Chain A
């Protein structure tokens, strides 16, 4: 009985934290929806004007506004959206003649796939780069890796992406220049067409993560316990795996989580260049067409992703380092 309790205790002690975080996440989501609604009110024009375009007549605009329900005051629309959302329905798109849920469900899998593939690959790459340059500090390898990550951070991402296309698609004819995502594509087709977007997106996050991982590991290596363990004759690989990494995990996972949250909304430029049907370009689309329900839903997804990633980072950090549990 007692054993069972103590085995459960690391997770059980986390429950209040998770509950607290969930509550504050709801608060944050609510704040985001208010902010999005407020700034969307600042935008010039509305969905009716934007969808009629240049040649609209005032009567047409008025009629379409009525059709879309835009002639009602803003707070009424917001309250309506909020109650719908609370019951799980993100509403109807103003311009696309479709429920928002349908539009999102077309794009979300794409974004999740791009983000997760990039995440897995770039976390591995960043760990490899970060750790190897931290344990070889000052060596030629460290300097070389440092220069590589620095220059990756230094080049605008649209230039990296365009260069990648020029080299791999136009010159070498190896990879597709655009992401042709469709359900009937085979796995190998999908992977090939995702190669360049993943590469361009990965460049940015790998460089940032690797630098932070290097810093975190280097910080631990400077601690006295490492010196102590070495004097005791513990093999260096053991010190890294069993002593340094668990301690460095907290800051590392935090850095990784921050970088990964960028993969969702920050993919805008990569999505544009590779014509990737993802959420970031959908959100821009929602802004330009003044499709507020769609805009809100995109913002909610990005915000929720961020909050979940942060929570996971904290939980992992606590599990890895029992001292933080207090």
Chain B
């Protein structure tokens, strides 16, 4: 069971291994957040704001005098899980709709394409703004917004892949056998799309992380006292000119997470030769 995984890891180029390491590191931090965070996420631990690193506060304090390390640990939990969830949802929905469009063709295809064009042409941040104004901000809603935003992009890619597959013999044969669309999609097409889809999943993950930080700039992020990594950068931005750790640290966290994910995608992309 573990062996093929090891083999894949060993086959990865160095950059891929670094990427994998970074991604695993953040997933571990996210999963273990309640156990490893030194303070409460909203606890005021310091009288001074933007204080530098000390033995007590490893990454100093933020604009209200809270522990930056704690907030980054909890922030990574929100960011990683939201982004992973949204990316999975976007790819799952996008791909299944794309396969449906490819198999049915004709009017179904036309309508689905127009629907996706409609979605993609509404600027995502403004869409998010409207949704949050209408339904109030919550994790579920953020998840849904991020998933919706990146579904059409995945749809375009998977539809192109699926269209190529539908024309191939083995799918035609399955059709001729009278297999149901669902069966064709799951058994015949999906296995042949999985590699590019994985790469796309990683790409969407990075996009969602960035979308979330964009949303937090607009004040639409996770509910306080919690925050995602982007909100941490945003809320401490007044410390930027003095180079406070409170803003540098979460920025580095976002960078390592997204760079790690990107390196990993590049490495597992089919035909990647570096």
Contact = CB atoms under 8 A, between A and B. Distances in A.
B141 interface: no
A155 B120 CA distance: 23
Nearest to A142: B274
B134 A24 contact: no
A32 B254 CA distance: 34
Given A170-B241, A269-B217, A150 B126 contact: no
Interface stretch (B30-38, B68-76, B110-118, B177-185): B110-118
Contact of B118 (A35, A44, A142, A157): A35
A283 B251 contact: no
Contacts, number: 135
Interface in B192-218: 206, 210, 213-214, 217-218
B259 interface: yes
A310 B213 CA distance: 28
Interface stretch (B46-54, B87-95, B163-171, B232-240): B232-240
Nearest to B199: A215
B96 interface: no
B271 A219 contact: yes
Nearest to A157: B214
A154 B255 contact: yes
A302 B233 contact: no
Nearest to B19: A150
Contacts of B262: 150, 153-154
A302 B213 contact: no
Contact of B121 (A40, A137, A284, A302): A302
A138 B258 contact: no
Contact of B117 (A28, A40, A42): A28
Contacts of A43: 130, 133-134
Interface in B113-152: 113-115, 117-118, 120-126, 129-131, 133-135
Contacts of B16: none
Contacts of A269: 125, 214, 217-218
B7 interface: no
Contacts of A305: 121
Contacts of A157: 210, 214
Interface stretch (A63-71, A158-166, A191-199): A158-166
Interface of B: 110, 113-115, 117-118, 120-126, 129-131, 133-135, 153, 206, 210, 213-214, 217-218, 230, 233-234, 237, 240-241, 251, 254-255, 257-259, 262-263, 266, 269, 271, 273-274
